[in-house]
Structure 1
Amino acid sequence: MTTQDPGARPGEALIRALPKVVLHDHLDGGLRPQTVLELADAAGHPLPAADTDSLARWFRDAADSGTLVRYLETFSHTIAVMQTADNLARVAREAVLDLAADGVVYAEQRWAPEQHLAGGLSLDEAVEAVQAGIDDGIAAAAAEGHLIRVGQVVGAMRHADRWQEIAELAVAHRDRGVVGFDIAGPEDGFPPSRHLPVWRFLAEHDVPVTVHAGEAAGVDSIAQAVHLGQADRLGHGARIIEDIAFVPHGDLGDGALSDDGQGGAADLGRLAHWVRDHQIPLELCPVSNLQTGVAPSIAKHPITRLKELDFAVTLNTDNRLMSRTSMTHEMMLLVDEAGWTLDDLVDVTVTAAWGAFMHHDERRDLVEQVVLPGFQKVEGALV
């Protein structure tokens, strides 16, 4: 899409009004701090802080450690309060409402049902509870004038070896709210090759797959995700940048190099070419990636260069509680610190819409009837 002013810089109010698509948002990473306090009190679960503001700061500070392992430790508190059907439904409902209030029109909520059975729920009951909350949230958002569509991505924890069981759960609920399958948790040391039959099973049952890769581990992790896991999308995928050599003043004449968008050239390795050639969407999460040490700053985050090189880049929140973020916040940071324009924002939003785990005609309707008209409305306010 080309706006009338390709260099237009939208302000926060306009960005908040934009339609947004988020493909990588963890249900157990997006709780409201007040909800954590209330549910923890009812469950008798001790927390590291006693009031909403202090708890919110604790989550952010703990997640700012610079390592994925320390980042993941913060989930012990959110998961602890998500062990009953009522609590799961409440958290899911509030997540939908919070996303809708931020302008999100399509979202996928990913979570690992196997981590929510301590209160006696079965896997099926846990999925059903989350779906009930999602349905209530969608209805409540509509009553407030916000239309949003939300699907579940159920994930298996890489280190827990219940991959086949969760894959079967995804198949069982494929037409009842579940839109895809994921593996999450410690990436390094737990590759897709750990349970090869799972990927064939999912493909045989037409279940879309996204795989956390290219965050804590590098290029080999991404290669396994796309070649063995048959991933339709990459959860993060930021470290595909490690398979690209940047040349400050490269000669583009031989056709072997790509314009890197910054006056130089980029020499893509075979895997980088594969990911780009197949336009496998990258579920990039800038703020979270800073916290886990994937990038040193928003300005130097791989998202901008990968977008300039025509990778299928999408923008996501990952964990809104731990990162104290939102889609509006992520967009504003890219505008303020990486020089993004309205055109850049529409590009990643349209890419995300086309990468959504739903049918082609539904994706087309999302792009043509919701996303593009929403951006055109904001564009009109800029002119």
Structure 2
Amino acid sequence: MSPAPLDLPTVRTAPKALLHDHLDGGLRPATVLELARECGYDRLPADNADDLAAWFADAASSGSLERYLETFEHTVAVMQTPEGLARVARECALDLAADTVVYAEVRFAPEQHLERGLSLDEVVHHTLLGFEEGVALAADRGQQIRIGCLLTAMRHAARSLEIAELAVRFRDRGVVGFDIAGAEAGHPPSRHLDAFEHMRANNAHFTIHAGEAFGLPSIHEAIAFCGADRLGHGVRITDDITVGKADRAELGRLADYVRDKRIPLELCPSSNVQTGAVASLEKHPFDLLARLRFRVTVNTDNRLMSATSMSEEMVKLATTFGYGWSDLERFTINAMKSAFIPFPDRLRLIDEVVKPGYAVLIG
């Protein structure tokens, strides 16, 4: 039996696992417009879905992480009500399920959704309700997905301990972990040690945005001082890798440690190019890190800003680096091994969903 063609329609049928996806970076353009009208937000840069989608993609492609982050002003602005939060979460679950994402961890920063009087607990409650509704609706359509929510603290603010406490409080209601995000330069992860200590004291999982716009010091702090379970992006780990003649690679102590400890890298190819973390997809270190057997995972980061999906990210990587179905299966299993859900649940998804799904495609 020959392998299935590795094209976008077929990749859409493959089971996928997603660890790094921002809720406020994945809205449907039409939803942004409708929610803006409902809440009276009049600062959108376009008045129809196609033009708005193009604006987000263009504005996010500046090559600057700071400029990229400015696009979220518009999406966050329309996610300030119970109805808005629930709708965005519901549609997120449906869109991912339609792309055959069988497991996803979706993150957002509750502290950014308080402008209309909601409390942090209310923000999380309504978002989780939206995810539950979306998962149930997807199941009715024959599409199975499990979603875990990550609560993010903004690294330039001073609420990280409060958000970590919130993550622990909701850990049995759909929240699976904690994260810090935002501009890296000038905001090292070590400023939030009390939040990470709270997570460790409660045997809870967390990831840290590190090594995207800033280099090895950010990664070192995230691992050595903060104890991160995973690295959000982490592309700059290649600053500690020297490639010599015959493509022989020499790893520095930090890169060696990351690989030895199997610390997962939440790589987001399209987004990494947009923010200037890498010059182009062809120069993305994904393939180097995959060949060196780092635990690489494929992620979307922000589906609206990057005009992408998990299937599209996989096809781009396969086209650029010559990957086959076995490679895509390995990256998916890497993600499932690294998920913030109990081991038996990870194993069940790998053995009962991921492997059988790829066996059909591998032929």
Counterpart CA distance in 2 for 1:60 and 1:9 is: 29
TM-score by length of 2: 0.98
Aligned to 2:25: 29
1:114 maps onto 2:111 in alignment: yes
In 2, Cα distance between the equivalents of 1:21 and 1:4?
A: 25
Equivalent residue, structure 2, for 1:156: 153
CA contact (8 A) 1:112 1:157 kept: yes
How far 1:4 moved relative to its partner?
A: 7.7
* SS of residue matched to 1:18: coil
| Contact in 2 for aligned 1:29/1:318 (Cα 8 Å) | yes
Q: Residues 180-222 of structure 1, C-alpha deviation per residue, up to 9 Å, x if partnerless?
A: 0000011111112113222211101011010000101111100
* Residue 15 (structure 1) aligns with: 11
2:165 to 143, 165, 168: 168
Q: CA deviation at 1:40?
A: 0.6
2:231 is the alignment partner of 1:234: yes
Q: Deviations over 1:24-82 (max 9, x none)?
A: 00000000000000001112212100100000000000001000000000000000000
Q: Is 1:334 aligned to residue 317 of structure 2?
A: yes
State the distance in 2 between where 1:57 and 1:126 align. 29
2:135 paired residue number: 138
Question: CA–CA distance in 2 between the matches of 1:377 and 1:33?
Answer: 35
| Aligned pairs (5 A) from 1:1-383 | 10-45=6-41, 46-249=43-246, 264-380=247-363
Give structure 1 stretches of 5+ with no counterpart: 250-263
Equivalent position of 1:260 in the other structure = none
Aligned residues: 362
* Percent identity between the two aligned chains: 56
Contact 1:21/1:105, CA 8 A, preserved across alignment: yes
Q: Distance in 1 between matches of 2:218 and 2:275?
A: 17
| Corresponding residue of 1:255 | none
In structure 2, give the amino acid aligned to 1:36.
Answer: V
Structure 2 runs not aligned, ≥5 long: none
TM superposition shift of 1:226: 0.9
Contact 1:24 1:318 in 2 (8 A): yes
Q: Which amino acid aligns with 1:330?
A: E
Q: Provide the TM-score with structure 1 as the length reference.
A: 0.93
Change (3 A) 1:238 1:9: farther
The verdict on how the C-alpha distance between 1:299 and 1:57 changes in structure 2, with shifts beyond 3 A counting, is same
